[in-house]
Amino acid sequence: MTTTRRTPISHLARLERLKSSYGEGIVATRLALLRVLARSRLHTAAQVARLHEMLCFLRAYPDDARVLAQVTRMLEGFDRRPDLLAHRAALADSGIAGTAIHYRFFWSTALWLARRWPDRLQFERDDPEAAARIAAALPLVAPAASAEWLRAGQLPAFEALDRLRGRRSDAAWFVGRVAQLPGDGFTREAFSDAVDAPFAVEPGKDTPSRSRAHFASAPRAFQQAPLRRGRPDLRAAIAVQPRGMRLLSRRDGAALIDLARSAMVTRARDLMAFEYGDARSVRLVDDGDGLAFAFCGVIPERRSLLPAIFGGLTLRNGVPIGYVQVDVIGPCAALSFNTFETFRGSEASHVFARLLAAVRHAFGAVSFSIEPYQLGHGNHEGIESGAWWFYYKLGFRPQAAAARRLARDEVARLQARPAHRSSERTLQALAAHHLFFDLDPADRRGLPQLQALLQRAAHWLARADAGTNGVAAAEAAALSLTGLGSLAGCSRDERLAWQRWAPLIASMPGIGRWSASERRELAQIALAKGGRDELAFLLRWAAHPRMAAVLWRA
């Protein structure tokens, strides 16, 4: 192949045309193009970004070891490319190594960044409203003597902050002081998020970037056949178990959560399950062919009262290609599925089907739902991506009567005129309702009645007495009802879980007709919410003979 007479942009365009081509004869061409582009200089920021995305894609879907080695070298050194340096400012917020990231990070993410990269996290100083909020907050976070000086003075926010911060960056100093405020993580989070400061992460050797995002311990495979673009049979796909699942060491679990958090930071997003991920409960599901799902639980103090929430990172050859959130309660899993833009249009249907298989075999789910936001309700990206039709064509269906009627009408229009496209207004109406998929079509679950349980608990507390006294009364009632007697020997997290669950137990419908062993097991379910791993909570819930009825008849 002759490449030397062509321009760098023509090489890039040809590499892009080969993106989805695999098989005999492709590797040599791809390698030649990559090697030329490794020493070429592109002319615009858009061209640099296009090359970067191709490299990320090929690291996830490499033909062989030679291609993988070439794209890895190019990505690892991407921040040193002359064309990247020339267009660094224009490529800000791209997540490319060597570029800055600007975002109003939530408290947990800001704290993580401040601790990991204290010299790289800065405040953006061009927002006067944010500056006013920072000025008002400074006397509340500063040491007493400094606070008095601030109250007596008239210095602008950032001039005062520069005098207080010493050698630390302005944002690292401020976030560090917020972390020392009295109270707990919830109060500090509320304080920081009320300030709502805009941050910037200046690029450094190991600051979050998409260029170097990789989990070395993930399974690997080479792509030697065309990508799987077909629409799978979900029931058949879910029946095929993943190759294996293992609980990661705490060290590897922490590294995986850091990778997930970096993936969010570089895309100006946050996910609570990653922000408060528990390194002790990270599982890696190996699905074969280089595809894996890493699921992390949430630290006990941040767990939801009823569902067990897991954040998930989709990995292909160790490269994050998307993320998920899975809320599991009983046999039901509510899914939020996202594929990162670089990897859209590749194997989305196949990956989603394998995700369902992973959730089925990891958490025991047999019924799956997609919430309205994921479908486009209040989410323009979901409307533009055609999310509702993506799930509908895979077999998900609405249960709400209005949505069923509208769906029938749209399907009829498509059958009569294949070129028909649903209007944005129609998609918004369809997206206003959940979609469902049940492994057993004869056993349609629908949404578990969580709100009914929570409402009962709230009413019980209101009748008992609002506030602390009501909670104490609920704890005493729950101990009596379950025969637990006391919390002696329970951990701090188990005690916290019991305190939260006590109103649910005290107000549980029909609990007076339960056997003594059923009530004792209910106590163990509550305590399992504060255990090391929420999977134990799910298993105990699933094994309880009464809990299915509680979920659907509350």
Per the prediction, the chain carries an average pLDDT of 93
pLDDT single digits (tens) 279-333: 999 999 999 999 999 999 999 999 999 999 999 999 999 999 999 999 999 899 9
DSSP 80: G
Amino acid at 197: A
> In the predicted model, is pLDDT for residue 4 greater than 60?
no
**pLDDT value for 249:** 96
Which class does domain 234-371+434-438 fall in? Answer: alpha beta
pLDDT single digits (tens) 125-170: 999 999 999 999 999 999 999 999 998 877 888 999 999 998 899 9
pTM above 0.75, yes or no: yes
- Mean pLDDT over residues 372-385, rounded? 92
- Mean pLDDT over residues 452-475, rounded? 85
Contacts of 283 (CB under 8 A, 6+ apart): 245, 246, 247, 248, 294, 295, 296, 362
CB neighbour class for 43 (10 Å; exposed up to 12, middle 13-18, buried from 19) = middle
Amino acid at 326: V
Expressed in percent and rounded to 5, the helix, strand and coil fractions of the chain are 50, 15, 35
> In the predicted model, is pLDDT for residue 3 greater than 60?
no
pLDDT single digits (tens) 335-378: 999 999 999 988 999 999 999 999 999 999 999 999 999 999 99
Q: What is the dotted CATH code of the domain comprising 8-86?
A: 1.20.930
Q: Please name which of 200, 196, 141 lies closest in space to residue 165, comparing C-alpha atoms.
A: 141
C-alpha span between 159 and 165 (Å, rounded)? 10
CB atoms within 10 A of CB 154: 7
DSSP 441-492: TTS------HHHHHHHHHHHHHHH-STHHHHHHHHHHHHHHHT----TT--H
Residue limits of CATH 1.20.930 in the chain: 8-86
pLDDT single digits (tens) 13-66: 999 999 989 987 899 999 999 999 999 999 999 999 999 999 999 999 999 999
> In the predicted model, is pLDDT for residue 124 greater than 90?
yes
Residue limits of CATH 3.40.630 in the chain: 234-371+434-438
- Mean pLDDT over residues 241-250, rounded? 96
Count how many residues are written for the chain: 554
